[in-house]
């Protein structure tokens, strides 16, 4: 079954070293989303979320606050056309 919505999100602020990737992986899995999350060398976090539109939107809302130690300054979102594997993984820094 194809994904209803696929987005790439770039999260800026104090989002590295605060458990953001592992938190994102757990929240995305709880929502049944596919995709991945990784740190970027510029200090941001990048993620791809794929699934039902309402679940993707719920995840983006969660990303705007993040885990307790995070201080999110911005979440830039773009809809993308990509093939996304089933499951949600944490990837190495890019």
pLDDT digits (tens, 9 = 90+) for 26-75: 999 999 999 999 999 999 999 999 999 999 999 999 999 999 999 999 99
Instruction: Name the residue range of residue 77's domain.
Output: 5-86
Whether 5 is a known active-site residue: answer no
Which residue is catalytic, options 39, 71, 83, 91? 39
pLDDT at 2: 81
Report if residue 43 sits inside a domain: yes
Whether 39 is a known active-site residue: answer yes
**How many angstroms separate the CA atoms of 92 and 2, rounded?**
26
Query: pTM score, two decimals?
Result: 0.96
Report if residue 81 sits inside a domain: yes
Name the domain count of the chain: 1
**How many angstroms separate the CA atoms of 6 and 69, rounded?**
27
Q: Mind spelling out the 3-state secondary structure of the chain?
A: CCCCEEEEEEEEEECCCCCHHHHHHHHHHHCCCEEEEEECCCCCEEEEEEECHHHHHHHHHHHCCCCCCCEEEEEEEEECCCCCCCCEEECCCC
Q: What is the CATH number of the domain that holds 80?
A: 3.30.70.100
Which residue is catalytic, options 8, 14, 21, 64? 21
């Amino acid at each position: 079954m194809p994904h209803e919505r696929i987005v790439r999100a770039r999260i800026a602020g104090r989002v590295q070293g605060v458990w953001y990737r592992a938190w994102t992986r757990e929240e995305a899995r709880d929502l049944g989303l596919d995709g991945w999350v990784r740190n970027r060398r510029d200090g941001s976090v990048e993620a791809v979320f794929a699934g039902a539109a309402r679940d993707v939107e719920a995840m983006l809302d969660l990303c705007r606050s993040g885990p307790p130690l995070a201080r999110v300054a911005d979440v830039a979102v773009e809809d993308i056309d990509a093939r996304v594997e089933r499951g949600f993984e944490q990837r190495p820094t890019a």
